[in-house]
Amino acid sequence: MKKIKKFKINIRKREVLRNLKLVAEIKEITPQLEDIISKEIEKSQEYINPASVFETFSLNEIEKKFGLKFEQNYPAVSVIVVTIGKDIEKVIEQFKSTGENLHSMIVHSIGLEACESSKNFVYRIISEEAKEEDCILLPSEKQSEEISKNIIKNFDASRIGVFIDDKNAIQPVYTDVSIVKWQIKTKRQL
């Protein structure tokens, strides 16, 4: 199992805006709102702490460890757990407690994008490993809450502060569990 912490991620403003439109149901993005988002993206480096554990398994290993079965015969399957830590949750709560709901939604949207960017960073690392094995990766697949909890319980995700709490919820909130299937390169892809 590999663990990486405090790696640099690129928070894409365009994706934050897209997330914000979905969570806040905002119809129009004003220049003032864009400025607030840009400033908050800059500040987010203070409260976003990316970390990941990931490992690649054979189909037999992944079935034994997690009970996951696949219809197709893949050469390998990688498991990725990423988080951006708990600090962002405190920032959101601070904004909510002072009635700044839009600002809390902006930070939430940044958190969603930071989680996605963290997963993409790890995906690129695994992609390099796959190339060395003459394989390519299929797109990452976010797992259901039930499968995610099973993976967290059977994977040493506590190394990056990820756990299942007393209420059976994944902590920190901004955590993503995904699998990535490997595929042997065809002659055309070599």
**Three-class SS state of 21:** helix
Is 9 a residue whose pLDDT tops 80? Answer: yes
Taking residues 28-47, what's their average pLDDT?
94
**What digits encode the pLDDT tens for the residues 109-133?**
999 999 999 999 999 999 999 999 9
Taking residues 169-185, what's their average pLDDT?
96
User: Nearest Cα to 174, choosing from 87, 45, 80, 54?
Assistant: 87
Q: How confident is the model at residue 29 (pLDDT cuts 50, 70, 90)?
A: confident
User: What domains sit in the chain, N to C, each tagged with a CATH number?
Assistant: 2-184 (3.40.109.40)
Taking residues 151-161, what's their average pLDDT?
95
Backbone angles phi, psi at 165, to 5 degrees: -85, 180
- HEC states along the chain? CEEEECCCCCCCHHHHHHHHHHHHCCCCCCHHHHHHHHHHHHHHHHCCCCEEEEEEECHHHHHHHHCCCCCCCCCCEEEEEEECCCHHHHHHHHHHHCCCHHHHHHHHHHHHHHHHHHHHHHHHHHHHHHHHCCEEECCCEECCHHHHHHHHHHCCHHHHCCEECCCCCEECCCEEEEEEEEEECCCCCC
> pLDDT value at position 187?
62
> pLDDT value at position 28?
84
Taking residues 152-158, what's their average pLDDT?
94
Is 189 a residue whose pLDDT tops 60? Answer: no
The share of the chain scoring above pLDDT 70, in percent, equals: 98
> pLDDT value at position 120?
97
Mean pLDDT over the full length of the chain: 94
Q: Please give the Cα distance from 24 to 94 (Å, whole number).
A: 18
Taking residues 163-168, what's their average pLDDT?
96
Q: Please give the Cα distance from 12 to 109 (Å, whole number).
A: 11
Cα-Cα-Cα-Cα dihedral sign, residues 61, 62, 65, 71 = negative
**Could you tell me the pTM of the whole model?**
0.92
